[in-house]
């Protein structure tokens, strides 16, 4: 695995903003005194006149972003997922979501992989909070290539978008000429007939490795990358459930309200199917190295493989 290129999607976010800033002059970036961590500092260096440090005042930042959007700018409001979706939830709901303003929320340091920052900063509830806001698009890219594509897709989309990025460097898996990012469209990464593994974010790589382990046991798993939590690719979910008869969701998020819930809702209404939700099991995280936490909370390939074996 040492020869596999790895990069944190928060790095991809910062790089994408610079690239897009050169193309689109109405793109502005806001940050809440975390430009070094969210990687918007790269945008600040090149476009200081289009970067606003709002200080440690995330709620105010969302209000400023709403105001800028009302004047025709396309603001990317950036901070940790915990502060964006948690501390500033009311402002996102009322000042951005309700008037359906063209604000993009760049939320970094999401999930258990924040690591040593501990439970207070490990936001495992943000997908649930954001997908509950009417009209909010929710994106959770799996790697560097997908993260950059998601940022541009968010810019081009007319309306509020929540973008989820991670602190931990993750393998690049979408470096192929056929890769195409489209909001609301999942991607089939591996064909299979025995079980569908629907994964999102950093868990996509782990799902692929788990499928390889299952293959050794004669279990053929279809792996799909669901980078858009909302709007969900219902067509792909239903088609996969019909083909394999069993569905497993894998996410670095609570099993309540995230990808697992979204998939279960669709299948419950339109295609009743046996489903297993793998994620954070209604508990808070704890401080520790990210790789160890991923393993402890059952999100590594070996743990996913074992859970699916039991499920089948």
What is the arithmetic mean of pLDDT over 118-146?
Answer: 98
H helix intervals, 135-225? 144-156, 203-216
CATH among 3.40.50.10320, 3.40.50.800, 3.90.1150.10, 3.40.50.920 for 187-311? 3.40.50.920
Percentage helix, strand, coil for the chain under 3-state DSSP, each rounded to 5: 45, 20, 35
Percent of the chain with pLDDT strictly greater than 90: 99
* pLDDT tens, residue by residue, 77-108: 999 999 999 999 999 999 999 999 999 999 99
Q: Using 50, 70 and 90 to split pLDDT, how confident is the model at 1?
A: very low
Q: Are 6-171 and 187-311 the same fold in CATH?
A: yes
Sign of the alpha-carbon dihedral angle for 297, 300, 306, 310? positive
Q: Taking 80 as the threshold, does the pLDDT of residue 3 lie above it?
A: no
Question: What pLDDT shows up at residue 124?
Answer: 98
What is the arithmetic mean of pLDDT over 165-176?
Answer: 96
Cβ-contact 123, 110 below 8 angstroms:
yes
Record: fold of 6-171: Rossmann fold (3.40.50)
* pLDDT tens, residue by residue, 17-45: 999 999 999 999 999 999 999 999 999 99
Q: Taking 60 as the threshold, does the pLDDT of residue 2 lie above it?
A: no
Output the average pLDDT for the chain: 97
58 is catalytic: yes
Residue with tokens 């430009």: 35
* Helix 301-311, helix 203-216: angle, nearest 10: 60
What is the arithmetic mean of pLDDT over 277-300?
Answer: 97
β-bridge mates for residue 104, sequence order: 76, 161
Write out the two tokens for 128. Answer: 């649930």
User: 289 by DSSP, 3-state: which?
Assistant: coil
φ, ψ (nearest 5 deg) of residue 6: -130, 140
Q: Which of 19, 46, 49, 58 is catalytic?
A: 58
Q: What's the gap between Cα 91 and its chain centre? A: 21
Question: What pLDDT shows up at residue 250?
Answer: 98
Write out the two tokens for 290. Answer: 């990210």
Q: Domain residues of the chain, as ranges? A: 6-171, 187-311
Return d(Cα 139, Cα 142) in angstroms, integer: 10
């Amino acid at each position: 695995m040492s020869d596999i290129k790895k990069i944190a999607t928060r790095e991809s976010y910062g790089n994408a903003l610079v690239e897009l800033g050169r193309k689109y002059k109405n793109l502005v970036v806001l940050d809440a005194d975390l430009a070094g961590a969210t990687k918007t500092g790269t945008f600040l260096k090149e476009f200081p006149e289009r970067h606003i440090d709002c200080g440690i005042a995330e709620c105010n930042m969302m209000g400023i972003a709403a105001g800028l959007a009302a004047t025709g700018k396309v603001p990317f409001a950036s901070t940790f997922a915990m502060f964006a979706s948690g501390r500033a939830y009311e402002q996102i709901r009322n000042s951005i979501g309700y008037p359906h303003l063209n604000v993009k929320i760049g939320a970094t340091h999401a999930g258990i992989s924040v690591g040593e920052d501990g439970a207070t900063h490990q936001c495992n509830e943000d997908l649930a909070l954001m997908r509950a806001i009417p009209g909010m698009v929710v994106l959770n890219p799996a790697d560097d290539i997908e993260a950059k594509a998601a940022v541009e897709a968010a810019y081009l989309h007319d309306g509020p978008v929540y973008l989820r990025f991670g602190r931990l460097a993750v393998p690049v898996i979408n470096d192929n000429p056929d890769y195409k990012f489209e909001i609301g469209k999942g991607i089939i990464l591996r064909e299979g007939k025995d079980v569908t593994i629907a994964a999102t974010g950093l868990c996509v790589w782990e799902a692929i490795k788990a499928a390889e382990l299952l293959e050794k046991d004669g279990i053929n798993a279809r792996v799909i990358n669901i980078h858009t939590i909302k709007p969900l690719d219902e067509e792909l979910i239903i088609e996969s459930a019909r083909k394999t008869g069993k569905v497993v969701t894998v996410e670095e998020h609570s099993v309540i309200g995230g990808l697992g819930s979204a998939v279960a809702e669709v299948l419950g209404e339109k295609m009743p199917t046996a489903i297993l939700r793998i994620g954070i099991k209604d508990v808070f995280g704890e401080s520790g190295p990210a790789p160890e936490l991923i393993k402890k909370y059952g999100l590594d390939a070996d743990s996913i493989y074992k859970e699916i074996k039991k499920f089948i």
